[in-house]
A = this chain, B = another copy of it.
Amino acid sequence: MTSAARQDEPSATGAGDPAPAPQFHGTVWVALILMLWLGVQPARAAAPDPLPAWNDGPAKRSISKFVEDATHAGAPTFIPPSERVATFDNDGTLWSEQPSYFQLAFTLWRIKSLARRHPEWQAEEPFKSVLAGDAQGALQQGQAALLELIQATHTGMTLDEFSGAVKEWAATAKHPKTGRLYTEMVYQPMLELLAYLRANGFKTYIVSGGGVEFMRPWVERVYGVAPEQVIGSRGALRFELRASGPVLVKEATVDFVNDGPGKPVSIENFIGRRPVFAFGNSDGDQQMLQWTAAGAGLRFMGIVHHTDDAREWAYDRQSSIGKLDQALDEASTKGWLVVDMKKDWKRIYPFDK
């Protein structure tokens, strides 16, 4: 522990502590006094890089500069701690979203684990195809079939039951390409960014098109984001007073789709403040980025561009998942940061060497 670091800690024994003073040589005293006087901060100089999975370059530098400017007391760029709201999309921004949204993988997994209770599914589409291992065949039956799968796995049960299923999936289900848990397929550079912002007094929120109740069971453990800072799409909940006590039941009605123009709306509904920092990866994040950009004072808008088909996936304007087209153009016009995954990220996943 350096002397400068100790200055930020409470004195363990009080100012009037009669314990013997540490023995320093005179020259050490002189050096310490000089350092204090000159404002030299050895602890800061020695602090580890908060963003080690980011390659040195303009992307990393722009993030560091934003955080330094935002926290520089007295500077015109200073942002008061209560206004340090940072919002992140989830799919494709904090974790992967290929070959299909991970919530769809959960849906198909859940169909299989619910099949015991539904012997009739063996003969009924789209369940029959899913149970026969032909997910593609099930999904090709169209939007109504997909909705049926979602209803069967996401509604008509208590919230506790649903959360339990999500936890089991998160703890066991593996991704077909990497063989890793889905919750391991989160981006190491973004984990570092979340932690770096929080260490500088920012509140980090997830603002995702995914279901809020699908995220809450694991995002605190994985991202360090508390349940009350997770905003997502919502199905209706119904309060029911049962003999065993009150429960919340997940209903079939969709209450809110948290995508595109829905994102600024739910940010206002839930947070009631405009973010100063927002990160997304697709056109579904464009309005959140516009809303963030239009506020007064210092702001930061970032986009993850999937450019790495060796370590992750490469897709943008033509993709059916995470399509990035208009937002990419706007980012270029407005000078928002576009992260080139291949160039800017030293590691993708925590398990990468």
Contact = CB atoms under 8 A, between A and B. Distances in A.
Contacts of A272: 212, 216, 227-228, 230
Interface stretch (A103-111, A113-121, A146-154, A262-270): A262-270
A46 interface: no
A9 interface: yes
B10 A14 contact: no
Given A239-B287, A294-B245, A269 B22 contact: no
B241 A290 contact: yes
A226 interface: yes
A333 to B, nearest CB: 14
A22 B11 contact: no
Given A239-B265, A265-B239, A287-B246, A18 B11 contact: no
Given A237-B268, A273-B228, A14 B7 contact: yes
Chain A residues touching B, range? 35 or more
A177 B347 CA distance: 66
Contacts of A32: 14, 16
A212 B14 CA distance: 46
Contacts of A13: 7, 36
A55 B6 CA distance: 44
Contacts of A29: 16, 18
A10 B234 CA distance: 45
A159 interface: yes
Given A29-B18, A33-B18, A237 B269 contact: yes
Contacts of A265: 237-239, 248
B3 A82 contact: no
A11 B11 CA distance: 5
A247 to B, nearest CB: 9
Interface string A291-306: 1001000000000000
Contacts of A21: 16
16 contacts: A3-B15, A6-B14, A10-B10, A11-B11, A11-B15, A13-B36, A14-B36, A16-B29, A18-B33, A85-B228, A212-B269, A216-B272, A237-B265, A237-B269, A248-B264, A248-B268
Interface of A: 3, 6-11, 13-16, 18, 21-22, 24, 29, 32-33, 36, 82, 85, 159, 203, 212, 216, 226-228, 230, 234, 237-239, 241, 245-246, 248, 261-262, 264-265, 268-273, 287, 290-291, 294
